[in-house]
Amino acid sequence: MTLTSGVDLEIVDYLYSAEKERREVVKVTDQYPELTIDEAYLIQEKLIQRREKDGARRIGLKLGLTSKAKQEMMGVHEAIYGYLTDDMLALEWEPLDYNKFIHPKAEPEIAFMIAEDLQGTNITAEDVLRVTKYVAPAIEIIDSRYLNFKFTLPDVVADNCSSSSFFIGSKWMSPRVLNLADIGMVMSKNGQVSQTSSSAAVLGHPATSVAWAVNKLGEAGKGIKKGDIILSGAISEAISFEPKDSILVQFAELGSVSFSCK
Ligand code: 0L1
Ligand code: MG
């Protein structure tokens, strides 16, 4: 479709107010079935600009649909990216307020701490590792604004890829001392193992996933910056949780990260 400036801002309002008022809404493509992925990224950018106007600060990126299983489920061949803002950073030692969310799910991630600007369209996993000072265990809380987490690719991109909150664990390690291609992970809820997987589930290597995002940004003349935090993509399926639940993610070598809900 041809996205007019009135329509993009209308969609931004629609998604932003759903988030602030914590209510599910029908997906954007029910009203605009011809919305393209490129247009959805333009809407996402305006949504982030709106958050910035309200005081939020961009602090990095998150990748989504980075497992072959999830891409096949959605019938796509590409990952997606969204932005992280400072108000999404949750602290491990503080209980997570469940009332802030609509229908949250938790997923295990590896966070990359970026030490140098990086931009281009031929960026490799090696380039990403070169500019990565540390990696750390992370949990992302995704909270799609759409009814029952049901959406098409343009819908989820416009909704900043369901971004909502994230935790970073306290053990930060240089990627050079780890075999990042295959780090085992166990995610438990209330002491019961819920998911097991390996970092290989993220496009074969989490740095490949980050390189994909840098190349995608590069096509739009953008890049990643020194100081950015990048969540490289879910290592397993996301799991739902309820008030009072506790989630623990343990990685081989890389340590653990957890939260409890109030
Ligand atoms: O971070 C993610 O992997 C989520 C991307 C969007 C898809 C979803 O909400 O499940
Ligand atoms: Mg994620």
Average pLDDT in the 191-214 region? 96
Nearest ligand (C-alpha, residue 161): 1
Closest-CA residue, ligand 1 atom 2, reads 64
In tens, the pLDDT along 109-123 reads 999 999 999 999 999
pTM for this model (two decimals): 0.96
Write down the residue that tokens 């009072």 correspond to: 244
pLDDT for residue 34 is more than 70:
yes
| Structure tokens that stand for 152 in this block | 């098409």
Query: How many whole angstroms from its chain centre is CA 165?
Result: 9
**Is the CB of 211 within 6 Å of ligand 1?**
no
Task: Determine contact, residues 38/219, Cβ cutoff 8 Å.
Answer: no
How far, in Å, is the centroid of ligand 2 from the Cα of 124? 21
Percent of the chain whose pLDDT exceeds 90: 93
Q: Is the pLDDT of residue 78 over 70?
A: yes
Nearest to 126 by CA among 232, 51, 207: 207
> What is the distance of C-alpha 138 from the center of its chain?
11
Rounded distance between C-alpha atoms, residue 44 and residue 165, angstroms: 17
**225-256 confidence digits (pLDDT tens):** 999 999 999 999 999 999 999 999 999 999 99
- Report the sign of the C-alpha dihedral through residues 130, 133, 136, 138, in that order: negative
Q: What is the DSSP string of the chain?
A: ----HHHHHHHHHHHHHHHHTT--B--HHHH-TT--HHHHHHHHHHHHHHHHHTT--EEEEEEES-SHHHHHHHT-S--EEEEEEGGGEEPTTS-B-GGG-SS-EEEEEEEEEE-S-B--SS--HHHHHHHEEEEEEEEEEE--SBGGG---HHHHHHTGGGEEEEEE-S--B-GGGS-GGG-EEEEEETTEEEEEEEGGGTTTSHHHHHHHHHHHHHHTT--B-TT-EEE---SS--EE--TT-EEEEEETTTEEEEEEB-
Task: Write down the pLDDT at residue 1.
Answer: 65
Picking from 96, 144, 44, 124, the residue whose alpha carbon sits closest to that of residue 245 is 96
CATH 3.90.850.10 matches 7-260:
yes
Q: Which two tokens stand for residue 158?
A: 């416009």
Taking the domains of the chain in order of start, what are their residue ranges?
7-260
Backbone φ and ψ of 123, nearest 5° = -75, 135
Strand-pairing partners, residue 165, are 141
Give the CB-side neighbour count of residue 150, counting CA atoms within 13 A.
5
Q: What backbone phi and psi angles, to 5 degrees, belong to 140?
A: -100, 135
Task: Name the one residue in this structure whose structure tokens are 């796509």.
Answer: 76
Q: Whose alpha carbon is nearest atom 4 of ligand 1?
A: 64
Using 50, 70 and 90 to split pLDDT, how confident is the model at 4?
A: confident
Q: Looking at the CA of 64, which ligand is closest?
A: 1
How many beta carbons lie within 10 A of that of residue 107, not counting itself? 24
Q: What is the pLDDT of residue 75?
A: 82
**8 Cβ below 6 A of ligand 1:** no
